[in-house]
């Protein structure tokens, strides 16, 4: 459950406000402080503590319930203490990746953003969990557990992993995906199609019920691609074929882009091309917008009177469809470092946290569980009314970003061109053609194809 439209309470940026760091960006890794000055001492100290483990994570409000409720519960039930070390999103990516490559042993478990799995796993940083008897059983929501395998169980694979058997290297930590939040005094029922969202929204704007029927993030790079993603998927778009050929500029992709930069822009605030998390959140929670597609952490804020002026007026539903109703996934996911000093304790945590009992505790603490039974638990649902919508969206359709180490670079190319078209209010299809040419050239340089 990752905030996307609401800034964190400490004023910092959420993880989706920060550009994904690519493994290929060596200069970026070198620009941040990496390992502690005395890793050998740290390893000795941690190995000597038989009932502890060290967990690393980026700073994010969604991890607060995890820290406050789950870590103490784990110690109570196992006697193992967790030392949790956190850093800002981009800094932690670099620290953890360097830790794994150098085998420094500063961390036993990494809590990652799911696009990191291809980067970390392809570099051999993550432990094979199946060798410790951990399985991705059917109790997990399938779209979530699929992200823990490398190479991926379906879709294209990067070179060197074409014929390798998928191995479980990470388990989902906290569920996070997009759903629709809508004003129930503007839409009498959840708009099931984009046509319905547009026509009802336009009428409400004309009648003066609402300033803007729809709001989204338009800033170039990750923000605009995240906003466009479910529209692209709902129109039937695919980013790549099984040989990594760029296909996002297919007729379906172009139709989605033209709809996004044209029709949806007409329903949005005039400055939407410069909208990011703060502006988007203010529009829906402040009463100016009629509908929004957002991640679970933001949706939960709908019922918080400290930040929402629309408590009682905001309801949840699956994203609208064109030919499908598919949302983007962006979960927290954790894996054991291959060089973990306290590997046995780390494996104990992995097994414990993968149970329905632990995941129910997570749901009751305020986060979104990753197993199906806790998502359906009546007590959890009563406390956390978004959970049935999360499950409905998983059943309707939910896709992660492409499982490749270089997605961040492709996303920046795509998001830059989409932003230009959004500013112009037209030319979405042409923007995709430009992005496809640039992305193809980049991937060729990276060795995806000759």
DSSP per residue, 390-425 = HHHHHHH-EEPSPSSTTHHHHHHHHHHHHHHHHHHT
pLDDT value of position 364: 96
pLDDT value of position 298: 83
Residue 376: DSSP 8-state? H
Rounded to the nearest angstrom, the gap between the alpha carbon of residue 100 and the centroid of all alpha carbons in its chain is 22
Instruction: Tell me how far apart the alpha carbons of residues 283 and 277 are, in angstroms, rounded to a whole number.
Output: 10
Sign of the alpha-carbon dihedral angle for 21, 23, 27, 30 = positive
Contact between 173 and 334 under an 8 Å Cβ cutoff? The reply is yes
Token digits of residue 369: 């569980």
Say whether 304 sits in a helix, a strand or coil.
Answer: coil
Long-range CB contacts for residues 62-67, cutoff 8 Å, separation at least 24: 62/1, 62/2, 62/3, 62/174, 62/176, 62/297, 62/332, 62/367, 63/111, 63/174, 63/332, 65/362, 65/365, 65/366, 65/367, 66/173, 66/174, 66/362, 66/365, 66/367
pLDDT value of position 50: 82
Instruction: Tell me how far apart the alpha carbons of residues 345 and 9 are, in angstroms, rounded to a whole number.
Output: 32
pLDDT value of position 337: 98
From residue 270, alpha-carbon distances to 183, 265, 274, 395 in Å are: 20, 8, 9, 35
The residues of the chain that CATH labels 3.40.190.10 are 15-176+330-399, 178-328+406-445
CATH of domain 178-328+406-445: 3.40.190.10
Instruction: Tell me how far apart the alpha carbons of residues 92 and 100 are, in angstroms, rounded to a whole number.
Output: 12
Sign of the alpha-carbon dihedral angle for 441, 443, 449, 450 = positive
Instruction: Tell me how far apart the alpha carbons of residues 14 and 90 are, in angstroms, rounded to a whole number.
Output: 11
Sign of the alpha-carbon dihedral angle for 231, 234, 235, 238 = positive
Token digits of residue 403: 């499982």
Instruction: Tell me how far apart the alpha carbons of residues 253 and 235 are, in angstroms, rounded to a whole number.
Output: 7
| H or E element, residue 334 | strand 332-336
From residue 219, alpha-carbon distances to 225, 227, 262, 285, 429 in Å are: 9, 10, 16, 20, 18
CATH of domain 15-176+330-399: 3.40.190.10
Residue 246: DSSP 8-state? B
pLDDT in tens, the chain (450 residues): 333 333 333 333 344 443 333 333 333 333 334 444 444 434 444 444 589 999 999 999 889 999 999 999 999 999 999 999 999 999 999 999 999 999 999 999 999 999 999 999 999 999 999 999 999 999 999 999 999 999 999 999 999 999 999 999 999 999 999 999 999 999 999 999 999 999 999 999 999 999 999 999 999 999 999 999 999 999 999 999 999 999 999 999 999 999 999 999 999 999 999 999 889 989 999 999 999 999 987 888 899 899 999 999 999 999 999 999 999 999 999 999 999 999 999 999 999 999 999 999 999 999 999 999 999 999 999 999 999 999 999 999 999 999 999 999 999 999 999 999 999 999 999 999 999 999 999 999 999 987
Strand-strand pairing, 332-336 and 109-113: antiparallel
Token digits of residue 148: 């823990």
Strand-strand pairing, 81-87 and 149-150: unpaired
Strand-strand pairing, 52-58 and 109-113: parallel
Closest to 157 in 3D by CA, of 130, 101, 118, 112: 118
Query: What pTM was computed for the model?
Result: 0.88
From residue 418, alpha-carbon distances to 222, 287, 357, 415, 422 in Å are: 11, 27, 44, 5, 6
pLDDT value of position 61: 85
From residue 342, alpha-carbon distances to 44, 71, 320 in Å are: 11, 16, 46
Residue 97: DSSP 8-state? H
55 Rama sector, left if φ>0, alpha if ψ -120 to 50, beta otherwise: beta
């Amino acid at each position: 459950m990752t905030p996307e439209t609401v800034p964190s309470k400490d004023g910092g940026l959420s993880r989706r406000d920060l550009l994904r760091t690519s493994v290929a960006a060596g200069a970026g890794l070198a620009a941040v402080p990496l390992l502690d000055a005395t890793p050998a001492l740290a390893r000795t100290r941690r190995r000597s503590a038989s009932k502890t483990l060290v967990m690393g994570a980026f700073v994010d409000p969604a991890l607060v319930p995890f820290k406050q409720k789950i870590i103490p519960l784990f110690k109570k039930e196992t006697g193992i203490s967790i030392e949790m070390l956190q850093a800002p999103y981009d800094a932690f990516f670099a620290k953890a990746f360097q830790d794994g490559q150098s085998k420094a042993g500063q961390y036993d478990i990494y809590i990652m953003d799911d696009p990191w799995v291809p980067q970390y796993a392809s570099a051999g940083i993550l432990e094979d969990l199946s060798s410790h008897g951990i399985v991705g059983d059917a109790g997990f929501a399938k779209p979530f557990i699929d992200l823990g395998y490398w190479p991926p169980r379906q879709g294209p694979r990067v070179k060197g992993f074409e014929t390798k058997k998928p191995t479980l290297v990470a388990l989902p930590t906290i569920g996070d995906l997009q759903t629709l939040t809508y004003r129930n005094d503007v839409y009498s029922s959840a708009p099931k199609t984009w046509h319905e969202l547009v026509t009802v929204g336009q009428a409400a704007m004309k009648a003066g019920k609402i300033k803007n029927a729809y709001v989204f993030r338009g800033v170039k790079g990750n923000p605009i691609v995240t906003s466009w993603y479910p529209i692209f998927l709902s129109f039937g778009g695919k980013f790549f074929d099984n040989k990594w050929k760029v296909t996002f500029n297919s007729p379906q992709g172009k139709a989605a882009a033209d709809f996004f930069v044209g029709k949806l822009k007409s329903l949005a605030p005039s400055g939407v091309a410069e909208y990011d998390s703060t502006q988007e959140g203010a529009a829906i929670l402040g009463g100016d917008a009629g509908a929004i597609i957002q991640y679970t952490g933001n949706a939960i804020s709908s019922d918080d009177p400290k930040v929402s002026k629309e408590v009682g007026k905001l309801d949840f539903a699956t994203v609208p469809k064109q030919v499908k109703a598919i949302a983007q996934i962006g979960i927290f996911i954790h894996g054991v470092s291959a060089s973990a000093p306290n590997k046995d304790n780390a494996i104990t945590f992995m097994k414990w946290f993968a149970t329905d009992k632990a995941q129910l505790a997570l749901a009751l603490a305020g986060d979104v569980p990753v197993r199906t039974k806790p998502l359906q638990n009546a007590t959890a649902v009563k406390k956390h009314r978004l959970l049935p919508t999360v499950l409905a969206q998983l059943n309707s359709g939910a896709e992660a970003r492409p499982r490749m180490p270089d997605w961040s670079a492709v996303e920046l190319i795509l998001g830059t061109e989409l932003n230009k078209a959004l500013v112009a209010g037209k030319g979405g299809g042409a923007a995709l053609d430009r992005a496809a040419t640039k992305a193809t050239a980049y991937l060729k340089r990276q060795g995806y194809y000759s």
